[in-house]
Chains A and B, each alone.
Chain A
Amino acid sequence: MSSIIIYTIITLSLLGAVAALVLYFVAQRFKVYEDPNIDLVEAELPAANCGGCGFAGCRNFAETLVKAETFDGLFCPVGGNETMSRIASVLGREAVTQEARVAVLRCNGTCEFRPKISKYDGTMSCAIASALYGGETGCNYGCLGFGDCVMVCNFDALHMDPVTGLPVVDDKKCTSCGACVKECPKDLFELRKRWKGDKKIYVACMNEDKGGVARKNCSVACIGCSKCFKVCPHDAIVMKNNLAFIDSVKCKLCRKCAPECPTNAILEFGLPIRKQPETINTQLINKEE
């Protein structure tokens, strides 16, 4: 080996060693003390950094949890009750539980039910379109179909159905983080109570126009007739602004309301098929999803 190579190796090794020593001492001198619990809590969190807890990422939430005295108002919707109870045992505090929820799109205005009356040629974004006008159909409240919600979902739980023109929620993947609720400019998403088997009953409409106008623009719109309200035995239905709303906590899935609806605006999922004459609407309602 020539002397150049030997000298190069020695010089570089010395330089490397000196640099390592300097780095070590600097790292010790400027070390920031962090409560070791933060790392433990962070390890329990799902590391999705979705912001569903209301904080800036899982680490930020972990810091908040460690500093907080109680867990009131602190909950990770992605990890759910299991994660929160594990964190509670790590920190030696009382666990909080919340009912499991899932995102639901309160609109069933498919291309078939809700005909288009204009063609939108602007940027394909729901936020931009809703600032411009009520949408390509006559219903000013319904889904615009440009997929801002799909873009914002961190968990791959939303996809556009090209046939219906509406986004579809994948219940298995949905973590009820609330991103779609915040994003939708029409406020169509709601986090509703999640039942076993993904059972759901809800009014798939947000239209506040008077019944005749609503029905003219969409054949499955809620016309505010109040028939569902009159039969509900659990006081779960509220009528406001020509629109029915089913409270998902009070609702016990007794199914008395759905057959009353003259426009089939109330959708049922995960429940046995009702015996009644097949119409186009009921075929779609009873699809096992």
Chain B
Amino acid sequence: MLKTFKKGGIHPPENKFSAHNGIRKLPLPGSVAILLSQHLGAPAKVIVNKGDEVKTGQLIATGEGFVSSNVHASVSGKIAKIDDVTDISGYRKQAVFIDVAGDEWIETIKRDNTLEKDIQLTGEEIIKKINEAGIVGLGGATFPTHVKLTVPRGKKAECLIINGVECEPYLTSDHSLMLEKGEEIIVGIQLLKKALNVPLAHIGIENNKPDAIVLMEKLAAEYKGIKVHALKVKYPQGGEKQLIKAITGREVPSGGLPVDVGVVAFNVGTVFAVYEAVQKNKPLFERVVTITGKTLSQPANFRVRIGTPISAVINAAGGIPGDTGKIVSGGPMMGKALSDPEVPVMKGTSGVLLFASGESARRNMLPCIRCAKCVSVCPMGLEPYLLMPLAQKNSFDRLEAEHVMDCIECGSCSYTCPADRPLLDFIRLGKSKVGRIIRTRKKQ
């Protein structure tokens, strides 16, 4: 019996077109726009100026405060300007624009491909190097990794969970990374185990990636304290709370963190970035991005430099098809639709998904027929049919009492609703308004 999370979940069509296409290096673009805020927390503060020459991997902005992250140049060349560009939030934010010239890396980075197994640093030194390298959660949440590794006082980490689930349809960047860089990921796991001082790590992989499961099991067998779990294919298995429940059986309490049940979880991409940072002195300036869609001629996985315009990624996959209606950054369930293909790739960009016009069109909504499908698919045990009218009527007290803040915004409810009601739109609105009220209340 495959492990899974029992409550809720859906089975959207997988459409993993790019699963067996490997990872190719994307040719360097003419210019990049590296955003100063690619992570949760305070935006980084820029330390370079217009006209400066920079090398690949050079620090160009420092994190502000504890919950923040460093930002590095992903290319070498001259800084053209420090200006606003539209990012995936849909608003213009500050970025460092670099005109690409050659590809000269800073000298400290070890560019060879040999596997560095030896771990000579202490746990604290590892966390420091991760902080310096600007590593954030590459699963999409972009939470600064060094902050996650700093366990709050009074709480204890018992084990590590590595998220190789990739439950969103279409996306295959984590899958490809495990197939090509499995050994490096295992070393990364050892580094994180040492940083957290835990004896055990679990790797969760959905059962639709049998080659990755077999490979990771083989590689993990050479080490003590790494277990691989094949998980039932169900969305949102890759959600942190659902993953922890499936592997350990424990539920992260409402309003709590995974460390409350002794777990710290990381995406496989993050783990690989940790390996590169600690063993190769390579800061985070590139990542694997899946470019896919039913209409695309060559769906692929590319290793892309941060700041590359998404249009360059699309061009490398055969160019933008004529009837493209929607470009989504991320997966089809939780990704953000873009108004402009020049939005640059950020640390959290796991994939680019193209829809033909009409393929992703919303349908007209009907009255709620109280079929309770939304209740049965919600992985957090909430009642979306009720949260939507409460949000429409601004009933903030009741929304908070109905635990709207527990919603992980996975989209299973809107996906399932036979009456095509935009449940998640209103739940998100309710969450933002109730969240503001809670923050104001806490300040008083």
Interface positions of A (Cβ within 8 A of B): 117-118, 121-123, 125, 127-128, 131-134, 136, 140, 209, 213
* Chain A, residue nearest B326 (CB): A121
* Bound Cα distance from A213 to B92, whole angstroms: 11
**Nearest CB of B to A131, in Å:** 6
B362 and A140 form a contact (CB under 8 A) = no
| Chain B 287-316 per-residue mask, 1 if CB under 8 angstroms from chain A, else 0 | 000000000000000000000000000000
B429 and A122 form a contact (CB under 8 A) = no
B84 and A131 form a contact (CB under 8 A) = no
* Bound Cα distance from A123 to B420, whole angstroms: 11
B418 at the interface (CB under 8 A from A): no
B49 at the interface (CB under 8 A from A): no
* Bound Cα distance from A213 to B429, whole angstroms: 30
B339 and A117 form a contact (CB under 8 A) = yes
* Bound Cα distance from A131 to B426, whole angstroms: 11
**9 A-B pairs whose Cβ atoms sit less than 8 Å apart in the complex:** A118-B340, A123-B425, A125-B425, A131-B429, A134-B339, A140-B90, A140-B92, A209-B84, A213-B84
Interface positions of B (Cβ within 8 A of A): 84, 86, 89-92, 336-337, 339-340, 361-362, 422, 425-426, 428-429, 432
* Bound Cα distance from A88 to B92, whole angstroms: 51
**Per a CB cutoff under 8 Å, which of B91, B428, B429 touches A140?**
B91
* Chain A, residue nearest B431 (CB): A131
**Nearest CB of B to A26, in Å:** 32
* B-side contacts of A123, CB under 8 Å: 422, 425-426
* Bound Cα distance from A140 to B340, whole angstroms: 13
* Bound Cα distance from A132 to B92, whole angstroms: 13
* Bound Cα distance from A127 to B432, whole angstroms: 10
* Bound Cα distance from A213 to B340, whole angstroms: 16
* Bound Cα distance from A127 to B92, whole angstroms: 18
* Bound Cα distance from A132 to B89, whole angstroms: 7
| Max chain B C-beta neighbours (<10 A), residue from A122, A128, A132, A133 | A133
* Bound Cα distance from A133 to B92, whole angstroms: 10
B89 and A122 form a contact (CB under 8 A) = no
* B-side contacts of A125, CB under 8 Å: 425, 429
* Bound Cα distance from A134 to B85, whole angstroms: 12
Contact flag A122-B362 (CB < 8 Å), given A128-B426, A140-B92: yes
B429 and A118 form a contact (CB under 8 A) = no
* B-side contacts of A121, CB under 8 Å: 361-362
**Nearest CB of A to B437, in Å:** 14
* B-side contacts of A134, CB under 8 Å: 86, 90-92, 339
**Nearest CB of A to B54, in Å:** 24
**Nearest CB of B to A126, in Å:** 11
**Nearest CB of B to A286, in Å:** 34
**Per a CB cutoff under 8 Å, which of A117, A128, A136, A209 touches B425?**
A128
B429 and A117 form a contact (CB under 8 A) = no
B361 and A131 form a contact (CB under 8 A) = no
User: Chain B interface secondary structure, helix, strand, loop or mixed?
Assistant: mixed
Smallest CB-CB A-B distances: 3 pairs:
A133-B90, A118-B339, A123-B425
A133 and B91 form a contact (CB under 8 A) = yes
* B-side contacts of A117, CB under 8 Å: 339-340
* Chain A, residue nearest B92 (CB): A140
* Bound Cα distance from A71 to B362, whole angstroms: 52
* A-side contacts of B91, CB under 8 Å: 133-134, 140
* Bound Cα distance from A136 to B90, whole angstroms: 10
* B-side contacts of A136, CB under 8 Å: 339
* A-side contacts of B361, CB under 8 Å: 121
B90 and A128 form a contact (CB under 8 A) = no
B422 and A131 form a contact (CB under 8 A) = no
Besides A123-B426, A132-B337, A209-B84, 15 more A-B contacts (Cβ < 8 Å) are: A121-B361, A122-B362, A123-B425, A125-B425, A127-B429, A128-B428, A131-B429, A131-B432, A133-B89, A133-B90, A133-B339, A134-B339, A140-B90, A140-B92, A209-B92
* A-side contacts of B428, CB under 8 Å: 128, 131
**Nearest CB of A to B199, in Å:** 43
* Bound Cα distance from A74 to B146, whole angstroms: 52
* Bound Cα distance from A127 to B86, whole angstroms: 20
* Bound Cα distance from A219 to B84, whole angstroms: 20
* B-side contacts of A118, CB under 8 Å: 339-340
* Chain B, residue nearest A213 (CB): B84
* Bound Cα distance from A123 to B339, whole angstroms: 16
* Chain B, residue nearest A116 (CB): B339
* Bound Cα distance from A123 to B425, whole angstroms: 7
* Bound Cα distance from A118 to B337, whole angstroms: 11
* A-side contacts of B422, CB under 8 Å: 122-123
* A-side contacts of B432, CB under 8 Å: 131
**Nearest CB of B to A39, in Å:** 30
* Chain A, residue nearest B357 (CB): A119
* B-side contacts of A128, CB under 8 Å: 425-426, 428-429
**Per a CB cutoff under 8 Å, which of A127, A132, A213 touches B90?**
A132
* Bound Cα distance from A213 to B86, whole angstroms: 12
**Nearest CB of A to B32, in Å:** 20
* A-side contacts of B92, CB under 8 Å: 134, 140, 209, 213
**Nearest CB of A to B423, in Å:** 10
**Nearest CB of B to A57, in Å:** 16
* Bound Cα distance from A132 to B361, whole angstroms: 16
* A-side contacts of B340, CB under 8 Å: 117-118
**Nearest CB of B to A231, in Å:** 30
**Nearest CB of B to A117, in Å:** 6
* B-side contacts of A133, CB under 8 Å: 89-91, 339
* Bound Cα distance from A75 to B54, whole angstroms: 61
**Nearest CB of B to A209, in Å:** 7
* A-side contacts of B339, CB under 8 Å: 117-118, 133-134, 136
* Bound Cα distance from A140 to B89, whole angstroms: 11
